[in-house]
Amino acid sequence: MAEKETEENNKAAAIEKPAEGETDGEADGEKLELPELGPFETIIGQRMPSLFFKFQFKNVEYSSGRHKTFLCYSVEKQGTDCERSEGYVEDEHAGTHAENAFFTDIFTECDGSLSYSVIWYVSSSPCAVCAAKLAEYLGKCPNVQLTIFVARLYMWEEAEIQQGLRKLHGAGCRLRIMKAPEYNYCWNTYVDNEGEAFVPWEDLQESSTFYEEKLNEILHHA
């Protein structure tokens, strides 16, 4: 099995280091202000149409026509109070990808005195550039725990993609493959399902197992 989708080769990332003299947010409870990098064409919402989810998150071998990235997120902030927010981001590939839009439009500052649990459910795994930038971000914000569940591995046979995923894993990101429980959770949490139950497609489990094996090979065999 291999990813056959055609996507932009320059999948740009936009998570930058703070400017010289700014705090990295690791000490004394200082706030990390992420730079403004817009405007970008991104769609942010609470629940996506069910047809979008069924098509974009399907873990098929041939993913032709799936040129967007859909990212469902959950952010839990823990400190004096516990706050939780959730929704989804859909990119239009007009200057940024959903991974970056999350940090420019949603998670726009990081308080070093708090801890954050961030969980993503993404239609495909990050490209090499996005993975490297995410690893860089996690390196300077150790109070952010990022877990990424992916439906499909993007161009997993490419050496630079594999290196990017290993770099992200090494930075502490928990990389996982979506399985039936994650699909069911997303369906009930992020999809306008009109009361319908999630119905797994025939080869969902088989495809999840395949991608899980490939991801384990990539992360643990340099």
Q: What is the mean pLDDT of the chain?
A: 80
- Nearest to residue 141, comparing CAs of 50, 36, 34, 217? 34
Whether residue 100 is predicted with pLDDT greater than 90 in this model: the reply is no
Tell me 104's DSSP state: I
Length of the chain: 222
Query: How much is the pLDDT for 104?
Result: 82
Residue of 7, 90, 99, 182 with catalytic role: 99
Q: How far is 177 from 129, CA to CA, in rounded Å?
A: 20
16 is known as an active-site residue: no
What are 221's two structure tokens? 């065999």
CB atoms inside a 10 Å sphere around CB 29: 12
Whether residue 113 is predicted with pLDDT greater than 50 in this model: the reply is yes
pLDDT tens string 4-49:
333 333 333 333 333 333 333 333 344 444 334 344 456 777 899 9
Question: Which CATH superfamily includes the segment(s) 32-220?
Answer: Cytidine Deaminase, domain 2 (3.40.140.10)
Q: Any residues with CB less than 8 A from the CB of 179 and at least 6 apart, and which?
A: 205, 208, 212
Going from N- to C-terminal start, the domains of the chain cover: 32-220
Where do the DSSP E strands lie in 51-181? 70-78, 82-91, 109-111, 115-124, 144-152, 174-177
